[in-house]
Amino acid sequence: MAAGKLVDDKIPWRGNSGLKDGSEAKLDLSMGMYDAGDNIKFGFPMAFTATVLSWAILEYGEHMEHINQREPAENSLAWITDFLLNAHPSQNVLYIQVGDPKEDHKCWEKPEKMTTKRPLKLVNSSKPGSDVAAETAAALASASLVFKKTDSTYSSTLLKHAKQLFTFADKYKGSYTKSHPEIATYYNSTGYGDELLWAASWLYHATGDTTYLRYVTEENADKYAKVDGPTWFSWDNKLAGAQVLLSRLSFFGDKGAKGNSGIDDYKKSADELMCALLPDSPSATASRTKSGLIWITKWDSLQHPVGSAFLAVLYSDYMRASDNEILSCGDDSFEPSDLRKFAQSQVCYSC
């Protein structure tokens, strides 16, 4: 739900809110999005939302345009990225939360009338947050691609901050929920390696700088990408997203991917993930309900099937567009249409 001074808002019962957010640090943090049904701005999931929205616009922007939704999507994206830019006032400082969830959750009130205090939390060199800083870098790098043609100045600003945040995240390693244990109750991070790979992958796509490609394919691949079995795409774990994003380089013959065994490894992992998602595959995951919905956690249970559906649709389209029509899962073979059918089964589970 959008915060701040709303512009051209089409929801009649919404009004301006959080206009003084960030004032204690002399920053304008009025924009951005509130989390779920409360009035807190959590930077970690908000940045992830921006990254995935950017990815969707980049891949499916033309379809959005046909139904007059590209501009609203880009406006929503900029509402978040403007917040993230303002939350990064210097190279090694990132504000990651506005509001006190403990106090906020005691009082059910609409943001336009909220009375709770709006304290800030940040990460810096002494209180690191590689996960949230790298996710924010991914958000800004991916958004820089979205706005590259329509607003080159804004795109350059986004990319500049993305590079700084990635350097900060990589240099001062640590989890933001170790620096701020009280946040773990709400959005606990289980590690930062996936965010570093995710951010570097987006920065490579945004810049073409092979430094970022080497980051994900050399020693950091051994550190952060080697896992047993598929991982589940979510605000906490981006490894599956990085695998699919990097497999794009293999599908479409990016010059940096040619003969790169590291990229081939990510492509192989992405294949294994798709095989795990397909219900008729010999390696199909058992982590699903009797009716076929991917089921990983009891809390926030729909994030994993929705994330899996998004990756499956992307992968099916990559296969089709690159004339790779066969996905081998053991002795069985599947087509892009099988992945799309799986995605539809997740999205339309209750249809």
Q: What is the CATH number of the domain that holds 185?
A: 1.50.10.10
End-of-domain residue from the set 204, 226, 248: 226
- Report residue 26 as tokens: 């002399």
If asked whether residues 64 and 171 sit together in one domain, one would say yes
Q: Give the total residue count for the chain.
A: 351
If asked whether residues 59 and 119 sit together in one domain, one would say yes
End-of-domain residue from the set 190, 209, 226: 226
If asked whether residues 193 and 254 sit together in one domain, one would say no
Q: What is the pTM of this model?
A: 0.96
Average pLDDT, the chain: 95
Mean pLDDT of the region 14-35: 97
End-of-domain residue from the set 196, 226, 256: 226
If asked whether residues 312 and 276 sit together in one domain, one would say yes
Cβ 145 vs Cβ 205: under 8 Å = yes
Q: Which of 103, 253, 248 is nearest to 186 (CA)?
A: 103
Q: How confident is the model at residue 19 (pLDDT cuts 50, 70, 90)?
A: very high
If asked whether residues 31 and 177 sit together in one domain, one would say yes
pLDDT (tens digit, 9 = 90+) per residue, 65-112?
999 999 999 999 999 999 999 999 999 999 999 999 999 999 889 999
Q: Which domain holds residue 44?
A: 1-226
Q: Is 284 left (phi over 0), alpha (psi -120 to 50) or beta?
A: beta
Total number of domains in the chain: 2
